[in-house]
Amino acid sequence: MMVTWRRLRSLAMVGLLLVVVLLSGCYFNIFQTARTVGAGKVAISLGSGVVNIVAGQNSSLVFTPQARIAVGLSDSVDLGIQSGLMVNSSGTPSFLGAIGDIKLALLQDPETFSIALGLGGGYSPGLLGWGVEGSVYLDSNIAFLPIYAVYRPILPLSGDTLSVIHQFGGGLHLDLSDSARILIEVDSWNGVLGGGISLDIIF
């Protein structure tokens, strides 16, 4: 009887944790800066985020391996799609969703700053189902200060009421070559902190 009660309690905690993860905990890392890939070029990004989900007195790390592909429609316009998985601490994967977006560069100065705007949408737990999102990107391209910051207002469309979720992100963009770089990111989705790392390659 004791074993059965412990097993039921464990299953209940796992179920509660799963509900928290699916409804509010896991989201796409931004893994984008204001830089566009260039006309006719293709960029592939591979990365993973991690977020610590807290439910009562229990916490669990959830990893979010992600991939993104972007095509340069012009030197200042990119069209991209991002998808991935959620992997909980027991190793069980589930679908993170898919989001498409378009990015427009307003300023691209490789010596100083870059600014871009984005608009996208799709399906993801981070959108609470179906939703749309905007993005404002700001990069510092100064050699000794390779940082970026992003603000993303998210509007879920699946609920009964409309309310905006706020996602903030930022970090380092470290060039490995003219066509490859690493992004190291810390972000906050509606107050839930996470982080991650991504490798970008332009072809």
State mean pLDDT over 175-179. Answer: 94
> What is the structure's pLDDT at 39?
97
Measured between alpha carbons, how far is residue 144 from residues 97, 114, 126, 174 in Å?
A: 36, 15, 33, 11
Which comes out higher in pLDDT, residue 12 or 147? 147
Comparing CA positions, the residue from 101, 104, 124, 105 lying closest to residue 114 is 105
> Which is more confidently placed, 112 or 160?
112
pLDDT at residue 141 tops 90: yes
Which helix (H) or strand (E) segment holds residue 12: the answer is: helix 2-20
Q: What is the pLDDT of residue 55?
A: 67
pLDDT in tens, 56-85: 777 778 899 999 999 999 999 999 999 999
Range of the domain at 14: 2-202
* CATH classification of the domain holding 85: 2.40.160
pLDDT given for residue 22 in this prediction: 37
Q: How many domains, in total, are found in the chain?
A: 1
